[in-house]
Structure 1
Amino acid sequence: MNTTLKKLKNISSENCITIIMNSHRTKPGYLKDELTLKNLIKEAENRLNENTVKKEADALVDKLQKLANDIDHSHNLDSLMLFVNKDTAKVVKLPIEVTDRVIIDNNFATRDLVRAMHIETNYFVLVLSQEKVRLIEAFNDKVVQEFDAPFPMENTFPMNKPEVTVSSRKTNLIAEFFNQVDKAVNLIRKENPLPVLICTVEENYAEYLKIADEKHSIFTTYLNKNRIAETDHAIVTEAYKIVETYKAKRNKERKAELDKAISENKFLSNTYDIYKAINEGRIQTLFIEEGLFQPAIITKDDVVYVSDFQRNDSNVIDDVYDELIEMNMRYGGDVVFMPQGKLDRFNGFGAITRY
């Protein structure tokens, strides 16, 4: 997801179409997803026809429809995103709920990808034993996928030979096996650098940490017990209890950053002031409540909110918050999504300045 976000957020061109919709994992829900997507593509087509040359609009709609036709809805997660412009055609499936909408702008609307990475918790579970290792990608308490090739990895070292019964020799062979596992995990993490929660017994956890190349990516706690034979769902259900505790601690720390910035007068809540500060490279962190969307017009003197009925106008940004998040990320800033009601006194949106 991180790789996809990096690619999409750097794309800028006319008519970047983002279609975002909730989807379903099981019957009968996913049987309706094709119709929902068809209706959203029709909405995109109508908006393109209002503001775009017909030949270009037809080409983009054709690209959307071809992309949609390739989707196997029986393998949907909880939401679906389509990204299309003249050079791009990309589908992303996410295990989070979203607000169904169509955005047509000069950039793709990647806010839900950002939200998925920040407010939700995407991680790997390394199910570790001395004989076999599995790797599962999880999102909160849901299984995204269990990896194959090279997982599951089997220990092929001759652990049962008489000469291996010597404790030091056995320890060395286990370390070598774990080292092979660690290299395979980090190869996958190179494309998708998620944190790793280890599921194993205490002895194996300690030995694995000795050989791990990227200890900073491994949770400082672990899921205790040999669960190598359990289902992926059962493992992730237990793993998330640990991850949830970590997430609560992280959210508390980010909230403390916000409170400290307010006391030090390093906090902005006016949207135009934040827009100017982003362009000056002064914003470190944006704070936004979940579910907050706002069409707007940005001028050199102001950010003017408009009604949802005006969002199709050619000079209107579909969601000004998404636009500001994108801008700030290009300057190296980050974003924190807060539960609804946590930023009431700032109308749901604010920023910490660097100085």
Structure 2
Amino acid sequence: MKTLIDTLVAQKGTPAVTILFPTHRTHPENKQDAIQLKNIVKTATERLYAQYDKREVWPVIENIEVAEKDINHEYNLDTLIIYASPHFSSVVKLSVEGIAPRVIVSDTFDVRPILKAIQQTEHYYIITISSQKIRLIEAFNDKIVHEVKDKEFPFDNTQYYTTDHARTIQSGVTDNLLKEFFNVADKKFKSYYHNNPLPVVIMGDVRNLPHYKEEMDIKGLIIGEVEGGYDNTDAKELPALAYPHILEYMQTKQAEYLLAIENGQRAQKVFDDLNDIYRAANSGSGDTLYIERDFIQLGKIENGIITLSGHEEDEDVTLKIIEAVLKHDGQVVFMDSGSLATYNGIALVTRF
């Protein structure tokens, strides 16, 4: 995901079109996604012809149409994005809910949905762990999205054990076999994680949880642990057990972010005026941009000055700020609506 963001931010070429719309994971609901896509592509095409010379938009429209034809709606997630410019196109499917259909025509791509997907913690995996079975469940808040049931999961332990009494009494044999089982399970999980990176809550016997964590190749994914045996628990019941840990983690992170801003203020390294933020971001001094999830500011940027308009045909100037921060290796953190009211919805902590 980080590589994709870097690629999108580095793209040059005008016009740059971002098409976003919500999609459906299951049949027959996902049949309507193709129809919705045609409608929103038509909207994008009309806007391009209205804003640019037709010779400028032909390559972009061609890239959009090629991308549209290549989409298999049987494998949709919650959000679909088409990025297209004269010499570039990409289709991205995300597990991000609540996205409204939208077309953005600018000279940069809107990477916010991808950033939000990376940071969201209310959408997560549950891994249930025992010496007999590993299960993988995708959840959102306190509800199940689905349990993975394919050739990889549930992963039953059919070979990483011994019935040889002489071997079982040897020191470490059983533990080593169990660790190997967990290691293989983790490698299977990584393919799902790389396709859809989400945080993890693990559930299992108190003796097995430390062993499983030790075998995980990617550290730092776990945001909660629930003790118990869940091999045969209805998957729909598991998110309710995990959700208190999700809430606690989210609250902790929000508090940490606010503390970081307060510390920056004390060091006189915080801007909350849009023009000050824009200048600092472009100069490369922006370390971390904190912005509310739904914060949008419509306006224009001329000669380095932001002027807000509120007109829907104008671009969201926060996109330019986000792009500038990312181009200079800064961080962008999305926070809950209203959490940055003191800072008018946006704050930049600078490096110096």
The answer to whether TM tops 0.5 is yes
Once residues 183 and 30 of structure 1 are traced to their aligned partners in structure 2, the CA distance between those partners, rounded to angstroms, is 30
Residue in 2 that maps onto 1:234: 237
Residues 15-24 or 40-49, more deviating: 15-24
Once residues 3 and 226 of structure 2 are traced to their aligned partners in structure 1, the CA distance between those partners, rounded to angstroms, is 28
CA drift of 1:160 comes to 2.2
1:12 matches 2:12: yes
Letter in 1 for 2:332: V
Deviation digits for residues 227-280 of structure 1, max 9, x if unmatched? Answer: 233454433443333222112111111111122222332211121211111122
Partners of 2:76 and 2:93 within 8 A in 1: no
Q: Cα 1:60–1:184, aligned 2, differ >3 Å: closer, same or farther?
A: same
1:41 matches 2:41: yes
Q: Cα 1:212–1:101, aligned 2, differ >3 Å: closer, same or farther?
A: closer
Within 5 Å, give how 1:1-355 maps onto structure 2: 1-24=1-24, 32-71=32-71, 73=73, 76-85=76-85, 86-140=87-141, 141-143=143-145, 146=148, 148-155=150-157, 156-166=159-169, 168=171, 169-186=173-190, 189=193, 194-219=198-223, 221-311=224-314, 318-355=315-352
Partners of 1:19 and 1:40 within 8 A in 2: yes
Deviation digits for residues 172-204 of structure 1, max 9, x if unmatched? Answer: 222232233344445665666654432211011
SS at match of 1:202: coil
Once residues 292 and 140 of structure 2 are traced to their aligned partners in structure 1, the CA distance between those partners, rounded to angstroms, is 21
Partners of 1:126 and 1:136 within 8 A in 2: yes
Letter in 1 for 2:202: I
Q: Cα 1:13–1:232, aligned 2, differ >3 Å: closer, same or farther?
A: farther
Once residues 187 and 32 of structure 1 are traced to their aligned partners in structure 2, the CA distance between those partners, rounded to angstroms, is 29
Once residues 301 and 87 of structure 1 are traced to their aligned partners in structure 2, the CA distance between those partners, rounded to angstroms, is 27
CA drift of 1:217 comes to 3.6
SS at match of 1:174: helix
Partners of 1:21 and 1:99 within 8 A in 2: yes
Partners of 1:294 and 1:321 within 8 A in 2: yes
Once residues 136 and 4 of structure 1 are traced to their aligned partners in structure 2, the CA distance between those partners, rounded to angstroms, is 26
Letter in 2 for 1:154: D
Partners of 1:119 and 1:336 within 8 A in 2: no
Q: Cα 1:334–1:206, aligned 2, differ >3 Å: closer, same or farther?
A: same
Unpaired stretches in structure 2, ≥5 consecutive residues = none
Deviation digits for residues 17-47 of structure 1, max 9, x if unmatched? Answer: 1111234556886565444433322221111
Letter in 1 for 2:206: E
CA drift of 1:57 comes to 2.9
SS at match of 1:222: strand
Partners of 2:15 and 2:107 within 8 A in 1: yes
Residue in 2 that maps onto 1:314: none
Once residues 206 and 28 of structure 2 are traced to their aligned partners in structure 1, the CA distance between those partners, rounded to angstroms, is 43
RMSD, aligned α-carbons: 3.1
With the length of structure 2 as denominator, give the TM-score of the two structures: 0.84
Partners of 1:3 and 1:192 within 8 A in 2: no
Partners of 1:136 and 1:147 within 8 A in 2: no
Residues 22-31 or 1-10, more deviating: 22-31
SS at match of 1:337: strand
SS at match of 2:114: helix
With the length of structure 1 as denominator, give the TM-score of the two structures: 0.83
Letter in 2 for 1:103: I
Letter in 2 for 1:172: N
Partners of 1:146 and 1:232 within 8 A in 2: no
SS at match of 1:20: strand
Letter in 1 for 2:316: D
